[in-house]
Amino acid sequence: GSEVSQESLLLHGPFARKPKRIRTAFSPSQLLRLERAFEKNHYVVGAERKQLASSLSLSETQVKVWFQNRRTKYKRQKLEEEGPDADQKKKGSHHINRWRLATKQSSGEDIDVTSND
């Protein structure tokens, strides 16, 4: 018998998922160094990333993902600081503004999105 069990196919077949990666727990000193590097430059690539990763005993991928996540956090904090007016941007008003530009509508007019005409 060359029969392969269903379970074996799920674990080792062509579509088997990689086991879920364990979340990296950064030490306070690693976080401090990463934050300082982020203050200087929001993007770290190439030799700089390699050097930073090696000096922190992390992989380059861990450093890359930390920077991606940190940029996301930074953008979110910037939006929150802008105040209640920033809510408009988050709710997709840029789509309406692009529509106004494309159709040469003035921003003074309210758009009735419920109308069927």
- The pLDDT value recorded for residue 19 is 85
> What range does the domain containing 73 cover?
25-80
- The pLDDT value recorded for residue 104 is 73
- CATH assignment at residue 54: 1.10.10.60
User: Which residue carries 């003035």 as its tokens?
Assistant: 106
User: Which residue carries 């879920």 as its tokens?
Assistant: 20
- The pLDDT value recorded for residue 93 is 56
- The pLDDT value recorded for residue 84 is 65
Which has the closest alpha carbon to 62: 19, 22, 28?
22
Q: Which residues of the chain have pLDDT under 50?
A: none
**Residue 19: inside a domain:** no
- The pLDDT value recorded for residue 21 is 81
**Residue 100: inside a domain:** no
**Residue 105: inside a domain:** no
Q: How many domains does the chain have?
A: 1
- The pLDDT value recorded for residue 88 is 55
Q: DSSP class of residue 43?
A: -
Separation between Cα atoms, residue 99 and residue 33, nearest integer Å: 45
- The pLDDT value recorded for residue 107 is 52
The rounded Cα 58 to chain-centroid distance in angstroms is: 20
Report the predicted TM-score, pTM, of the whole model to 2 decimal places: 0.58
